[in-house]
Amino acid sequence: MTWEVVIGLEIHAQLNTNTKIFSGSSIAYGAEPNTQANLLDLGMPGQLPVLNKAVLPKAIRFGLAVGATIGRKSVFDRKNYFYPDLPKGYQTSQFSYPIVDKGGFLEIEVDGEIKKIGITRAHLEEDAGKSVHDAFPGQTGIDLNRAGTPLLEIVSEPDMRSAQEAVAYARKMHELVQYLGICDGNMQEGSFRVDSNVSIHKPGTPFGTRAELKNINSFKFIEQAIEFEIARQIEILESGGKVVQETRLYDSEKNETRSMRAKEEANDYRYFPCPDLLPVVVTDEDIEAIRAEMPELPSAKRARYVFEFGLSDYDASFLTGSRAMAEYFEAVVSHSKDAKMSANWVMGELSKSLNQQGIDINESPVSAEALAGLLARIQDNTISGKIAKQVFDAMWNQEGSADEIIAAKGLKQITDSSAIEALVDEVLAANAAQVEAYRNGQDKMFGYFVGQVMKVSQGQANPGQVNEILKRKLS
């Protein structure tokens, strides 16, 4: 019998609030050390927490999106341990009564198979600060700006059976929290952190001892780290050894995991209800109000793109890949009223340019409105699709709006029939031999004539009219 891999993920999604979960300090990224660490964040004596109003609807929105039970009475507990980046000596978290309770799940697709991954719970908690290890000889520096940043910790069931499944789940979750507008998803800045619990066992026997792979900041590395960890555990067990329960760090340069700290001994966190905070009560009305404001979820959006816009499954998936992409696309469609044409441009020229520069769609120099302006000129025959690509490139380089560029470069399409007819006559006269060949049955030559006419018109002749006139003249 072969080994079966068992993976569960704990994902920390930083909630995109203005202030910390229990204090009025900013959570903006990148500030000078400890300039956003105030009295409560520093754990000063006598300081008391008050819960940030903004975190609850965000957590509940998540719970509703995954179909989980919402904790009507959730309780903040203290998780007690000593670490320099934990200023109070405890982390305020939710242990027994989380805001998002059982019943949630996410569907993932791997190799064409759809699989349901259970979500055990999701709870609110405060982030710790940061330790800086290399700036002071023999000492560690502590920056508490991040301490108290609101997190939603999303715990999955151990339902994943391969690194591919784990990454599919993590990506899906990454997409979801951004869709819901609760997390910016920035993995480089640590806004979305994935811890993987990996173990192996023989099917039909109890689960094996797991190792936890912590804080890996790209999907590629998550997959590599899990693959490495699976191989490591198989090797240990097959050579008669035992897997130790521990936290392991992934080294992306060496592509290996290594032990960080053994977990078994210090693992007595002495959770108890935080006496400085009272139970958080959520009513039916609160939930209904949040449900009414829910953004459309990716799966619903995809289905709508197929049915309402007549797009292919592939196109619909591509365009709903991120909330920003879908919003851009829908903005273009709202002007152009032509979903297929809009899809082609967003997935074609726009995505190509974005990829080339390695930037995100919301940083695009061509706005959805500007792109729609370009499409309008194709639709009203001012320019051809081919010219439009040229115009797009100019727009990308910030040369102006579609109309300005068309006017400045004189790219307006020739639609005057007599002018086109003159061009056609000119081409036919200059290519008598080819005309002869066409008439003798070489139908393929028709395209050659179209090309020649377009060439002499410098691409500006209306292709439809060129076709029509050529057909008439050659018949």
Per CB under 8 A, residues contacting another protein are 17-19, 23-26, 32-39, 42-54, 56, 75, 78, 80, 82, 84, 87-90, 131-133, 135-136, 138-144, 249, 260-261, 268, 270-273, 275-281
Question: Quick one: which of 416, 362, 360, 412 has its CA closest to 387?
Answer: 412
Min CB(220)–another protein separation in Å:
23
381 vs 404: CA distance, rounded Å: 16
Min CB(379)–another protein separation in Å:
44
Residue closer to another protein, measured from CB, 67 or 279: 279
Residue closer to another protein, measured from CB, 143 or 223: 143
185 vs 236: CA distance, rounded Å: 36
Q: CA 111 → CA 218, 279, 319, distances in Å?
A: 21, 44, 20
Question: Quick one: which of 81, 76, 80, 15 has its CA closest to 49?
Answer: 76
Min CB(141)–another protein separation in Å:
3
Min CB(402)–another protein separation in Å:
40
Residue closer to another protein, measured from CB, 143 or 315: 143
Residue closer to another protein, measured from CB, 215 or 417: 215
Min CB(459)–another protein separation in Å:
54
Cβ of 268: how many Cβ atoms within 10 Å?
A: 8
* Cβ proximity of 154 and 299 under 8 Å: no
Min CB(21)–another protein separation in Å:
10
Min CB(20)–another protein separation in Å:
9
Q: CA 226 → CA 155, 166, 274, 364, distances in Å?
A: 17, 9, 36, 35
Residue closer to another protein, measured from CB, 23 or 452: 23
Residue closer to another protein, measured from CB, 92 or 120: 92
Q: Which residues pair with residue 19 across a beta bridge?
A: 26
* Cβ proximity of 474 and 439 under 8 Å: yes
116 vs 399: CA distance, rounded Å: 49
Residue closer to another protein, measured from CB, 16 or 462: 16
* Cβ proximity of 129 and 142 under 8 Å: yes
117 vs 98: CA distance, rounded Å: 19
Looking up tokens 């992409």, which residue turns up?
325
